[in-house]
Amino acid sequence: MSESDARSALSTKRNGTRAASRRLRIAQLAHLYESVPPKLYGGTERVVAYLTDELTRRGHEVCLFASGDSSVSAQVSAGWPESLRLAGLSPYGDSYALLNLAAAYERADEFDIIHAHVDYWSFPFARLVSTPTVSTMHGRLDLPHLHPIYRRFREMPMVSISNDQRSYLPFANWVSTVYHGLPQHLKFSPGPGKYLAMLGRIAPEKRPDWAIEIAKRAGLPLKIAAKVDPADREYFESKIKPMLSAPGVEFIGEIDEARKSRFLGDAIALLFPIDWPEPFGLVMIEALACGTPVIARPCGSVPEIIRHGVTGFLGDTVEELTTAARRVHELSRWACRREFEARFTVEAMADGYEALYYDILEGARGPRRRNGSARRTRAAEPPHAGNGASRING
226-280 pLDDT, tens per residue? 999 889 999 999 999 999 999 999 999 988 877 888 999 999 999 999 999 999 9
Residues 6+ apart with CB under 8 A from 18: 58, 59, 354
Confidence of residue 381 (pLDDT cuts 50, 70, 90): very low
Tell me, yes or no, whether 380 lies in a domain: no
Mean pLDDT of the chain: 88
**pLDDT score, position 108:** 98
**pLDDT score, position 13:** 43
Residues 170, 222: one domain? Answer: no
Among 106-110, 279-283, 383-387, the range scoring the smallest mean pLDDT is 383-387
**pLDDT score, position 364:** 63
Cα–Cα distance for residue pair 348/6, rounded to 1 Å: 15
Give the orientation angle of helix 346-364 with respect to helix 43-57, to 10 degrees.
70
Per-residue pLDDT at 377 exceeds 80: no
Q: Which residues, in sequence order, are bridge partners of residue 272?
A: 296
Per-residue pLDDT at 7 exceeds 70: no
Residues 289, 177: one domain? Answer: no
Residues 33, 156: one domain? Answer: yes
Among 178-182, 302-306, 384-388, the range scoring the smallest mean pLDDT is 384-388
- Give the angle subtended at the CA of 78 by the CAs of 72 and 84, to the nearest 5°: 95
**pLDDT score, position 8:** 39
Tell me, yes or no, whether 112 lies in a domain: yes
Cα–Cα distance for residue pair 113/21, rounded to 1 Å: 15
**pLDDT score, position 41:** 67
> pTM for the whole thing?
0.86
**pLDDT score, position 1:** 40
Residues 284, 229: one domain? Answer: yes
Per-residue pLDDT at 6 exceeds 50: no
Per-residue pLDDT at 365 exceeds 70: no
**pLDDT score, position 94:** 85
Q: Which candidate, 110, 109, 111, 154, places its Cα nearest to that of 135?
A: 154
Domain boundary residue among 298, 326, 341? 341
**Phi–psi pair at 120, nearest 5 degrees:** -90, 0
Domain limits for position 147? 11-181+345-364
**pLDDT score, position 85:** 85
**pLDDT score, position 91:** 87
**60 vs 118, 211, 234, 372, CA distance in Å?**
22, 43, 46, 20
Q: Are 297 and 314 in contact (CB under 8 A)?
A: yes
Tell me, yes or no, whether 187 lies in a domain: no
Query: Which has the higher per-residue pLDDT, 87 or 309?
Result: 309
Per-residue pLDDT at 302 exceeds 60: yes
Per-residue pLDDT at 370 exceeds 60: no
Q: Read off the pLDDT of residues 151-187 as tens digits, 9 standing for 90 and up.
A: 999 999 999 999 999 999 999 999 999 999 999 988 9
Per-residue pLDDT at 88 exceeds 70: yes
Tell me, yes or no, whether 377 lies in a domain: no
Tell me, yes or no, whether 163 lies in a domain: yes
Per-residue pLDDT at 393 exceeds 50: no
**pLDDT score, position 315:** 98
Residues 209, 141: one domain? Answer: no
Residues 85, 127: one domain? Answer: yes
The CATH number of residue 42's host domain is: 3.40.50.2000
Residues 305, 351: one domain? Answer: no
Per-residue pLDDT at 363 exceeds 90: no
Residues 107, 223: one domain? Answer: no
**pLDDT score, position 16:** 42
Among 15-24, 194-203, 353-362, the range scoring the smallest mean pLDDT is 15-24
Q: Which candidate, 134, 141, 130, 129, places its Cα nearest to that of 157?
A: 134
Residues 260, 323: one domain? Answer: yes
Residues 326, 206: one domain? Answer: yes
Per-residue pLDDT at 369 exceeds 60: no
Which letter does DSSP use for residue 248 in this model?
T
Tell me, yes or no, whether 332 lies in a domain: yes
**pLDDT score, position 259:** 87
Residues 34, 156: one domain? Answer: yes
- The runs of H, that is alpha helices, within 58-133 are 93-106, 123-126
Residues 156, 32: one domain? Answer: yes
Write the Ramachandran bin of 312: left for phi over 0, alpha for psi from -120 to 50, otherwise beta.
Answer: left
Tell me, yes or no, whether 145 lies in a domain: yes
**pLDDT score, position 124:** 97
Per-residue pLDDT at 67 exceeds 60: yes
Q: Which residues, in sequence order, are bridge partners of residue 76?
A: 64
Cα–Cα distance for residue pair 187/273, rounded to 1 Å: 25
Tell me, yes or no, whether 148 lies in a domain: yes
Q: Read off the pLDDT of residues 323-352 as tens digits, 9 standing for 90 and up.
A: 999 999 999 999 999 999 999 999 999 999
The amino acid that residue 343 corresponds to is R
Q: How many domains, in total, are found in the chain?
A: 2
Instruction: Kindly report the number of other CB atoms within 10 A of residue 191's CB atom.
Output: 21
The bridge status of strand 249-251 relative to strand 173-177 is unpaired
Cα–Cα distance for residue pair 47/345, rounded to 1 Å: 11
Per-residue pLDDT at 387 exceeds 80: no
Cα–Cα distance for residue pair 371/145, rounded to 1 Å: 26
Percent of the chain with pLDDT over 90: 77
